[in-house]
Chains A and B, each alone.
Chain A
Amino acid sequence: PEGGTRPDVNLQDVLSPNAIGPLLNNPEISSALFPHLPSNIERSPEELSAVVNSPQFAQALQSLSLALQSGQLGPLLTQLGLDPSAGNGVEAFLRAVQEQAGRRQRDHND
């Protein structure tokens, strides 16, 4: 039963390999992501693409989606500089990151 609330989105759809694959060839983007790979994975666009296509990454996206939907992520969101209310679902989280990026760009331009 969904009631009046709109069903939430899934991070696996937002960050599907098809959508983000082409971005990984951009050197600026790949070098921003390298520090967040496991330490024993080679820092190359090919490896980055293999990771994004791995079942383990898909699993991580699913786990994070479920955790965001169950609203257990308050402390983590604070760490990322987001409002704890961003933990009420995947879409709320994405919007919070969007706003954060917008704020940063405005600060930058001032």
Chain B
Amino acid sequence: MVLDRIGSSVFTELIRAFNVHGTQVEEVWSLDTLEDLKPIYGLIFLFKWQGGNDSSRLHPDADLSIDENVYFAKQVIHNACATQAILSILLNCPMINLGTDLESFKDFTKEFDPDNKGLAMSNSELIRGVHNSFARSDPFMMDSSGSSSSEKEDIFHFISYVPIQGALYELDGLSAGPVNLGPCTEDNWLEKVRPVIEERMARYTSSEIRFNLLALIKNRDEVYRTRIQEIEGRLHHANDTNNSLELMQLRDEREDLLRQIEFERIKFKRYERENSLRKHNFIPFIYNMIRILAERGELQARIEYARKETTKRIRERRRE
């Protein structure tokens, strides 16, 4: 998968396709903004995969033993890792309403060992269906044998961080087990995870590897509407006591939340558009565009232009 295909719009629609309600995924631009996104159910760190070793070697002393409280699945197929990363959080968060489909998958597989959990994920019709609707709209790239192409697309790997029953875990389907990073509470887990992520960021920044951090959070619209309800209660009270300064502040706050709600609405419209473009089969569009150029007698010139661009790029690559 390519980076532009796996931003928050993809994850948000992945969750929706699983019929999980009340959550969304946001990109985390800076670790300082984590507090604003609370409540956060889990974090996903993604980076360009170098191949080879799993990530647990970054924590050589960590406990990798299988804990029955932790839902940990080994990664069986490589390009399903985005789906698996989001499932690692969803299946480990009792406060998220998973919906009947995913809930029954969890019930059915919870006694499985990590390998069989991974296999069950790759065999589940529900999960495969959701994953495939995102993997490619084009029929020819569905099988993984497309690696024969000369220009390889970048492969990204995803690792999840989740607080589970009083401990912070790093979940990487390529590791031998869930990495227990030590005790935490629901309140302080973000403080505990911060240095772990900072260390990864420092490592990848110095080696110029692209990475990105995403957070699975409570649905913003719901969060804002709950706050508005609280404010309305307080407005009522301030009205009764004739507290004009407080009234003014509360009205400003309410205005601000309404703006945020509108901002969310616009953002989700944009996600919807991006996702429909991403899933669309553009071959008929492209073919007709080329046909039109041919009929207008302009295709030959475009081919010559493209050939010049290819030569230019090859020359530049040689110079590097």
Residues of A within 8 A of B (CB): 7-11, 13-15, 19-20, 23, 29, 32-33, 36-41, 51, 54-57, 59-64, 66-67, 69-70, 72-73, 76, 80, 91, 94, 97-98, 100-102, 104-105
Contacts and interface: CB of A to CB of B under 8 A. Distances in A.
The 3 closest A-B CB pairs, nearest first, are A13-B306, A60-B282, A101-B294
A66 B286 contact: no
A33 B289 contact: yes
B146 A70 contact: yes
Contacts, number: 130
- Interface of B, secondary structure class, is helix
Contact of A9 (B4, B139, B306): B306
A66 B284 contact: no
Given A70-B149, A98-B294, A38 B140 contact: no
A8 B277 contact: no
A66 B276 contact: no
Contacts of B272: 40
Interface of B: 2, 4-5, 136, 138-141, 146, 148-151, 153, 272-274, 276-280, 282-295, 299-300, 302-303, 305-307, 309-311, 314
Contacts of A80: 287
Nearest to A29: B292
A9 B138 contact: no
A41 B307 CA distance: 33
A63 B306 contact: no
B291 A13 contact: no
A9 B295 contact: no
A73 B285 contact: no
Contact of A14 (B139, B153, B302): B302
B285 A14 contact: no
